[in-house]
Amino acid sequence: MATSYGFNRERPRTEVFLDASNLSSANVASEKPLVLLGSATGGQPHVPHAITNFSQARDLFRGGELLDAIEMAWNPSPNMPGAGRIYAVRTDEATQAKLSKDALTFVSKLYGADANSIQVEYSDNTITNSKRFSVYFTKERYEQTYDNIGNIFTVQYKGEEAQATVSVEVDSATKLATKLVLSSGADADSMQALRTYELGQGVYQDVNVLVNDINNLPDFEAKMNPLGGNKNIETQFLDKVDAADIKAGPVTITAVAADLVNQTSNDPYIAIEVDRTKAMPDTFPVTNLAGAKTEPAPASWSAMFSKIADLGAYYIVPLSSNAAIHGELSQFLRDESNNGNQLRGFVGGGFAESIESLRGRQMNLRNARVSLVGDSVTRRMSDGRIYNAPAYMYAAQIAGIASGLPVGEPLTYKHMNVEALDRKFTGDQLDQLNNSGIIMTEFVRTRTSSHFRVVSDPTTYNISSEPVQNRVSLGEVSDFLTTEIRTVLDEEYIGTRIRSTSASIIKNRVESFLDQQKNVDGLIVDYNPDDVQVVISGNVARISFTVQPSQGLDYINVYITYEDQELTA
């Protein structure tokens, strides 16, 4: 949204408008892309859309919780980067609006009931003897007119023959142009074809090539129509022309349907389909599209979860407080993990939920790959709104922080861009919730500042003796470490012949991999090369090694000793 920096007056003045929406964009350094699923007022439903900046997201989704969650994920903290690439899925059941007029069908690019407000108009331009098409969407103050539609190029004969004609032949079955014929002669009885062009596929597939070739013929002149934008359509879509006299003056070759589709191809609200077996309409007045509807998201999101399995994302956030949907996500993550695709999810409840409600949600999940966010918050959005976000929306903000952090760095004590918590828990209650496997936020005031920060990064697994499954950050290290070592060994050794030196070769490669993880990627702190062992028996290689994984620092103990100072004078 643009903010005005100027004077609110009618007198002559300079006013500057600043639009900062593009500041919200993907963190290119992120290795952990994020998937958000939620309700929106625009965008094709149930299809993942790759989003890299907020302006793109706003144009696509227009509004709703999904758009707010994208902003929160990209602007989660006052001092930390936000999410990387976001894949967004609109969960509503929404359809397109349509209008059919003879050969033309107008389909809205907008999904949902708002598409019924799109209007179109088709009329004549009597000055240039062409067509004019207009699109109106008054809800968003959109009005676009496409003029001089249909006239593609002109042909004229300037030679000495008394007569010359041009014709375009059209196949009766497909209604596609097949030939353009140039003829000349002393009279109608002596007309001969000077040149026949095969239209459609081949050398003369594009109009530009055809026009250039006609110009190369002696005594013929062809000119592209300079009005109405790009006219380089495919020649198979030219309209039928019976032998027309090009001696007296230029004749215009038309392709009304193809030119209309071409000129409107980038319109943000309308797409046009052509049925060439029907006649083109002459004109029609301003008419609304109809038939679009918006309905709530389906009760089950499992089909949408299955569509995001192979996107290459890492975190998934369903924008819903429905425990059944959280359960579907939990099962989806288990299944994908068993298939070698390591993904993680963040979920949240509603507004100001009690300890009992939060613990009930956690116990129903109990999944090392699902983290439950317990707080609902208030924050300021980029358009100036003070937004009260339920916990499932705040989960998108938490996931944004996690996506922007390096692999294995915990959420612990990361500052959050919020202004208030809906429910304030005591220190003992925060300890209890954290130990129960729920991600909580606390308010901290110091002598110089105050801020909100994340307490820790537990999963809902909640078994303290299993640190890898109990902490998001340590689980990330395990996910990336195991995935990368598996990829290396799969690509370099599976399917190769075993030699007498294979064991030592694999051992050296594993040590090289661990050195990379220690010195560059930082997923492990250290390892002992002597612990790396490779034994090959038959066609099975057994590899074992011990590493010290990178962990988040949770506790610091400081010991201060006071002593008296003896002062004398």
Nearest to 120 by CA among 92, 149, 99: 99
Residue appearing with tokens 């599209």: 289
The pLDDT value given to residue 10? 52
Query: Is the pLDDT reported for residue 498 higher than 60?
Result: yes
Q: Which two tokens stand for residue 276?
A: 């060439």
Q: Tell me which DSSP letter residue 557 carries.
A: -
Q: Which two tokens stand for residue 420?
A: 């208030």
- Ordered strands of the 386-389 beta sheet: 386-389, 377-380, 420-421
Q: Which two tokens stand for residue 354?
A: 């009690």
Whole-number Å distance between alpha carbons of 131 and 149: 5
- What stretches of 339-390 show up as alpha helix (H) in DSSP? 355-365
Name the strand (E) or helix (H) holding 157.
Answer: strand 151-157
Q: What percent of the chain has pLDDT over 70?
A: 96
Residue, of 521 and 24, whose pLDDT is higher:
521
Among 20-29, 44-53, 521-530, 558-567, the range scoring the smallest mean pLDDT is 20-29
Written as one string, the DSSP assignment of 117-137 is G-EEEEEEETTTTEEEEEEEE
pLDDT tens figures, 248-261: 999 999 999 999 99
Average pLDDT, the chain: 92
Q: What integer is the mean pLDDT of 17-22? A: 52
The pLDDT value given to residue 6? 52
The pLDDT value given to residue 17? 55
8 Å CB contact between 70 and 76: no
3-state secondary structure (DSSP) of residue 144: strand
249 contacts: CB under 8 Å, gap ≥ 6: 156
Q: Is 434 exposed, middle or buried (0-12, 13-18, 19+ CB in 10 A)?
A: middle
Among 119-128, 226-235, 321-330, 415-424, the range scoring the smallest mean pLDDT is 226-235
3-state secondary structure (DSSP) of residue 141: coil
Whole-number Å distance between alpha carbons of 461 and 470: 6
Q: Model pTM?
A: 0.84
Q: What integer is the mean pLDDT of 527-545? A: 92
Query: Is the pLDDT reported for residue 271 higher than 60?
Result: yes
Per-residue pLDDT band for 564 (boundaries 50, 70, 90) equals confident
The pLDDT value given to residue 20? 52
Residue, of 28 and 95, whose pLDDT is higher:
95
Q: What integer is the mean pLDDT of 407-435? A: 95
Residue, of 464 and 544, whose pLDDT is higher:
544
Query: Is the pLDDT reported for residue 236 higher than 90?
Result: yes
Q: Distance from first CA to last CA of the chain, Å, rounded?
A: 70
3-state secondary structure (DSSP) of residue 532: coil
